[in-house]
Structure formats: C-alpha cells, structure tokens
C-alpha cells in the first residue's frame, strides 16, 4: 500500500467567483485518483489544507510526524509549490524517515480549473514513490529531484 498525505497547495484550491479569490474547501485527490484510473492500493489522508506560503515550522513538523508514524514505506505528499523545497529539506533531515521513499508534488494550476497539471504530477509522483530508493524527492512535470537538488 502507498499513502498520500494532502497538505493543500494549488492542487486543492478553488476559485470563488464572487470574491475573486482562491480558497480551500476539500481535497480533490480522491477524485483525481478515480479520474486517473489509479489501480494502486492507496490510502489518502488529509493533514491540512494550507497555502504553502502560510506554512509554519509546526506544519512541517506535523507532516514529518505523519510520515514517520504511518505504516507505509512509500509516501506521496501534495504540497504548494512556493515552499515545497523547504518542506522537502525538513523531511530529508528527519532521521525518523530513514528507509521510506517520500515524494512531494504540487501543481501550478488548481485541479478545479480543469486544465491542471496536477493530475499528471500526482500520477508521476505515485510512480516515482514506487520506483525510487528510500529518500525524499520533489516531482513535477514528469521530472524528479532529490531533496536539496531541486
């Protein structure tokens, strides 16, 4: 089994036409997995719905703790692109994650907009999480980078 931790970011933002703002209501990850015809055994867990520019050290610690506490060894973390590198660095430095493959991914366009890169990025991240050796990585646009070399 593989676990996906949802933390927010552009993946899950929606547009409020009246206010002209982006906001969070719920995650789209389950729908994305269905739409992408994912046949993996995947557990999805929402940790938070936060814009990564508003992410604090406490948020990053909560992500690391969740990654360390779950039984799965292959993990995907959805994350906002603005500070994805910062969270990857925190996870890579955490000794509790030794032996796990953690792949962070995000999107430049919200899934709700219909023309999002998020579906492709999620699928790529799921594949990378299964194929890469233990470590922390960032996957975007079909490419993957070890944390610290993004």
- How many of the other CB atoms lie within 10 Å of CB of 75? 25
Residues that are catalytic: 10
Cα–Cα distance, 121 to 118 (Å, whole number):
5
Angle at 49 between CA 64 and CA 31, to 5 degrees: 105
Q: Which distant-in-sequence residues (6+ apart) come within 8 Å of 83 by Cβ?
A: 52, 53, 55
Instruction: Tell the residue number behind the tokens 């233990």, with chain if given.
Output: 134
CA-to-CA dists, residue 55 to 59, 82, 104, 109, 136, angstroms: 6, 10, 15, 19, 19
Q: Which residue has the tokens 């899934």?
A: 111
């Amino acid at each position: 089994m593989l676990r996906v931790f949802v933390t927010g970011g552009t993946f899950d933002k929606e547009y409020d036409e009246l206010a002209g703002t982006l906001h969070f209501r719920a995650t789209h990850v389950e729908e994305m997995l269905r739409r992408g015809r994912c046949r993996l055994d995947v557990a999805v867990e929402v940790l938070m719905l936060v814009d990564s520019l508003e992410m604090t050290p406490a948020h990053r610690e909560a992500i690391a703790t969740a990654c360390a506490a779950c039984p799965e060894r292959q993990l995907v973390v959805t994350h906002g692109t603005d500070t994805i590198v910062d969270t990857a660095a925190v996870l890579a430095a955490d000794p509790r994650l030794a032996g796990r493959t953690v792949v962070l991914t995000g999107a430049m366009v919200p899934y709700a907009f219909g023309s999002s890169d998020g579906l492709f990025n999620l699928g790529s991240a799921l594949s990378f999480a299964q194929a890469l050796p233990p470590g922390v990585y960032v996957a975007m646009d079909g490419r993957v980078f070890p944390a610290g070399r993004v």
